Structure 1
Amino acid sequence: MKKLSIIILLASTFLLQACVHKLVTVPVKVAYKTTKGVVKGTVAVTKAIIPGGDEDEDDGKKNKK
């Protein structure tokens, strides 16, 4: 009887690991995707605020050639 209870405890531990894995990874994935979207939006806004910032650098390269 004691062996059966140990086997049941070990089996339930392995089965619960999948649930814990989902509980941890799903919020992390959501946070990563949200942060990635915010950073892309910030870069787009920054580029819109500073128009022609890249053109000045390109003009200098073209003149040197």
Structure 2
Amino acid sequence: MKKWVNLLAILTLALSLQACLATKIVTVPVKVAYGTTKAVVKGTGVVVGAAIPDDDDEQDN
């Protein structure tokens, strides 16, 4: 009987740790992709802003 209790405890702990691992496996690549995309979009906005002049300076005068 004691062996079954130990086995059940080990199985329960193993399954609970797998949930944490699965969460990390999903969230880390999503965070990396978000950070990379955010940097690319900001860089594209700067390049487009430099290439396409606007009339903000002329309106201030």
TM tier, smaller: 0.7 to 0.9
Alignment of 1:43-62 (within 5 A): 43-51=45-53, 53-55=54-56, 59=59
Q: CA RMSD in A?
A: 2.0
**TM-score normalised to structure 1 length:** 0.71
Which of 15, 20, 26 is residue 28 of structure 2 equivalent to?
26
Q: How many residues align?
A: 59
SS at the partner of 1:6? helix
Give the direction of change, closer, same or farther, for the CA distance of 1:4–1:18 in structure 2 (3 Å limit).
same
The runs of 4+ residues in structure 1 deviating greater than 6 Å are none
Which residue in the other structure is 2:41 paired with?
A: 39
Moved more, 23-32 or 1-10: 1-10
Give the direction of change, closer, same or farther, for the CA distance of 1:54–1:10 in structure 2 (3 Å limit).
farther
Q: 1:31 Cα shift?
A: 0.1
Task: Give % identity.
Answer: 47
Q: 1:17 Cα shift?
A: 2.2
RCO higher in structure (CA 8 A, sep ≥6): 1
**TM-score normalised to structure 2 length:** 0.75
* Per-residue CA distance 1:7-65 (angstroms, 9 max, x = gap): 111111112222222211110111000000111011101101111x1417x72xx68xx
